[in-house]
Structure 1
Amino acid sequence: MTPQDVLAQPFTLPNGVVVKNRICKSAMSETLGDSAGAPTAQLAHLYQAWADGGVGLCVTGNVMIDHRALGEPGNVVIEDARHMAALKAWAKAATSNQTQCWVQLNHPGKQSPKGLNAQTVAPSAVPFRPDLQAFFATPRELTAAQVLELIDRFGRAAAVVKKAGFTGVQIHGAHGYLVSQFLSPLHNLRSDDWGGTPEKRRRFVLAVYRAMREAVGAGFPIGIKLNSADFQRGGFSEEESLDTVRALADAGIDLIEISGGTYEAPAMTGVKTRDEPAKASTRQRESYFLAFAEKARKVVKTPLVVTGGFRTAAGMAQAIRSGAVDMVGLARALAMEPDLPNRLLEGKEPVYQVKPITTGIKAIDKMGILEINWYTGQLKRIGNGQPPRPRESGLWVIAKLAWHMVFIGKKRLPNKLRAG
Structure 2
Amino acid sequence: MKNTNTKLTSAAATLDQSLTLPCGLTIANRIAKSGMSEQLANRHGSPTPEIEQLYAAWARGGAGLLITGNVMVDGRAFVEPRNAVLESDRFLSAYKLWAKAAHAHGSAIIMQINHPGRVAVLPLLKKPLGPSAVGLDLPAMNIVRIPRAITEVEIHEQIARYATTAALAVQAGFDGVQVHAAHGYLLSQFLSPLANVRTDAWGGSPEKRRRFLIEVVRAVRTAIGPNKALSVKLNSADFQKGGLSQEESLEIALALEAEGIDLLEISGGNYESPAQLGFASSKQAGRDAYFLSYAEALRRRSKLPLMLTGGLRNVELMQRILAEGVVEMIGMARPFAMQPDVAKRLLAGESAAEPPAIPRVGYKPVDAYLQLAWHAAQFRSIAAARDPKPLGGLLRTVLAFAPRMGFNIVTQN
1:228 aligned onto 2:230: no
CA contact (8 A) 2:136 2:142 kept: no
Hey, what does 2:117 align to over in structure 1? 109
Hey, what does 2:106 align to over in structure 1? 98
Q: CA deviation at 1:277?
A: 4.7
Distance 1:394 1:102, change over 3 A: farther
Hey, what does 1:318 align to over in structure 2? 320
Hey, what does 1:346 align to over in structure 2? 348
Hey, what does 1:418 align to over in structure 2? none
Distance 1:140 1:322, change over 3 A: same
Q: CA deviation at 1:312?
A: 1.7
Hey, what does 2:271 align to over in structure 1? 263
Distance 1:231 1:253, change over 3 A: same
Query: What amino acid sits opposite 2:369 in the alignment?
Result: I
Report the Cα distance in structure 1 between the residues aligned to 2:177 and 2:57, rounded to whole angstroms. Answer: 20
Q: Secondary structure at the match of 1:105?
A: strand
Report the Cα distance in structure 2 between the residues aligned to 1:165 and 1:307, rounded to whole angstroms. Answer: 25
Hey, what does 1:362 align to over in structure 2? 362
Report the Cα distance in structure 1 between the residues aligned to 2:385 and 2:229, rounded to whole angstroms. Answer: 31
Report the Cα distance in structure 2 between the residues aligned to 1:412 and 1:30, rounded to whole angstroms. Answer: 15
Paired residues for 1:228-247 under 5 Å: 228-247=236-255
Report the Cα distance in structure 2 between the residues aligned to 1:136 and 1:289, rounded to whole angstroms. Answer: 33
Hey, what does 1:152 align to over in structure 2? 160
CA contact (8 A) 1:231 1:261 kept: yes
Query: What amino acid sits opposite 2:332 in the alignment?
Result: L
Hey, what does 2:92 align to over in structure 1? 84
Q: Secondary structure at the match of 2:188?
A: helix
Query: What amino acid sits opposite 1:358 in the alignment?
Result: P
Distance 1:115 1:148, change over 3 A: closer
For residues 368-389 of structure 1, the C-alpha deviation after alignment (integer angstroms, 9 at most, x for no partner) is 3222211111112111222111
Q: Secondary structure at the match of 1:362?
A: coil
Q: CA deviation at 1:366?
A: 4.9
TM-score norm. by structure 1 comes to 0.90
TM-score norm. by structure 2 comes to 0.92
Q: CA deviation at 1:344?
A: 1.4
Hey, what does 1:416 align to over in structure 2? none
CA contact (8 A) 1:122 1:181 kept: yes
Higher alpha-carbon deviation: 315-324 or 194-203: 315-324
Q: Secondary structure at the match of 2:300?
A: helix
Query: What amino acid sits opposite 2:200 in the alignment?
Result: D
Q: Secondary structure at the match of 2:79?
A: coil
Hey, what does 1:123 align to over in structure 2? 131
Hey, what does 1:302 align to over in structure 2? 304
Paired residues for 1:196-235 under 5 Å: 196-235=204-243
Distance 1:409 1:338, change over 3 A: closer
> Out of 162, 173, 180, which is 1:165 matched to?
173
> Out of 25, 30, 33, which is 2:33 matched to?
25
Query: What amino acid sits opposite 2:107 in the alignment?
Result: T
Q: Secondary structure at the match of 1:128?
A: coil
Hey, what does 2:10 align to over in structure 1? none
Q: CA deviation at 1:362?
A: 2.4
Q: Secondary structure at the match of 1:7?
A: coil
Q: Secondary structure at the match of 2:104?
A: coil
CA contact (8 A) 1:356 1:371 kept: no
Distance 1:278 1:252, change over 3 A: closer
Q: Secondary structure at the match of 1:104?
A: strand
Q: CA deviation at 1:327?
A: 1.0
CA contact (8 A) 2:271 2:365 kept: no
CA contact (8 A) 1:258 1:306 kept: yes
> Out of 15, 37, 53, which is 1:45 matched to?
53
Query: What amino acid sits opposite 1:380 in the alignment?
Result: R
Q: Secondary structure at the match of 2:243?
A: coil
Report the Cα distance in structure 1 between the residues aligned to 2:16 and 2:60, rounded to whole angstroms. Answer: 15
Q: Secondary structure at the match of 2:308?
A: strand
Q: CA deviation at 1:400?
A: 4.4
Q: Secondary structure at the match of 1:131?
A: coil
Q: CA deviation at 1:109?
A: 0.6
Hey, what does 1:14 align to over in structure 2? 22
Distance 1:136 1:380, change over 3 A: farther
Report the Cα distance in structure 2 between the residues aligned to 1:215 and 1:120, rounded to whole angstroms. Answer: 27
For residues 150-197 of structure 1, the C-alpha deviation after alignment (integer angstroms, 9 at most, x for no partner) is 000000000000010111100111010111001001000111111111
Higher alpha-carbon deviation: 221-230 or 362-371: 362-371
CA contact (8 A) 2:273 2:365 kept: no
Higher alpha-carbon deviation: 43-52 or 7-16: 7-16
Superposition RMSD on alpha carbons, in Å?
2.1
Report the Cα distance in structure 2 between the residues aligned to 1:117 and 1:47, rounded to whole angstroms. Answer: 33
Hey, what does 2:375 align to over in structure 1? 375
Kindly tell me the number of residue pairs found equivalent between the two proteins: 401
CA contact (8 A) 1:73 1:116 kept: no
Q: Secondary structure at the match of 1:82?
A: helix
CA contact (8 A) 1:42 1:380 kept: yes
Distance 1:33 1:410, change over 3 A: closer
Higher alpha-carbon deviation: 306-315 or 73-82: 306-315
Higher alpha-carbon deviation: 264-273 or 233-242: 264-273
Distance 1:68 1:77, change over 3 A: same
Hey, what does 1:417 align to over in structure 2? none
Higher alpha-carbon deviation: 376-385 or 183-192: 376-385
CA contact (8 A) 2:72 2:85 kept: yes
> Out of 55, 61, 74, which is 2:69 matched to?
61
Report the Cα distance in structure 1 between the residues aligned to 2:214 and 2:117, rounded to whole angstroms. Answer: 17
CA contact (8 A) 1:265 1:367 kept: no
Report the Cα distance in structure 2 between the residues aligned to 1:43 and 1:410, rounded to whole angstroms. Answer: 22
Hey, what does 2:6 align to over in structure 1? none
Paired residues for 1:321-340 under 5 Å: 321-340=323-342
Report the Cα distance in structure 2 between the residues aligned to 1:183 and 1:203, rounded to whole angstroms. Answer: 9
Report the Cα distance in structure 1 between the residues aligned to 2:394 and 2:103, rounded to whole angstroms. Answer: 32
Report the Cα distance in structure 2 between the residues aligned to 1:412 and 1:94, rounded to whole angstroms. Answer: 27
Distance 1:142 1:330, change over 3 A: same
Hey, what does 1:34 align to over in structure 2? 42
Report the Cα distance in structure 1 between the residues aligned to 2:143 and 2:358, rounded to whole angstroms. Answer: 19
Distance 1:47 1:53, change over 3 A: same
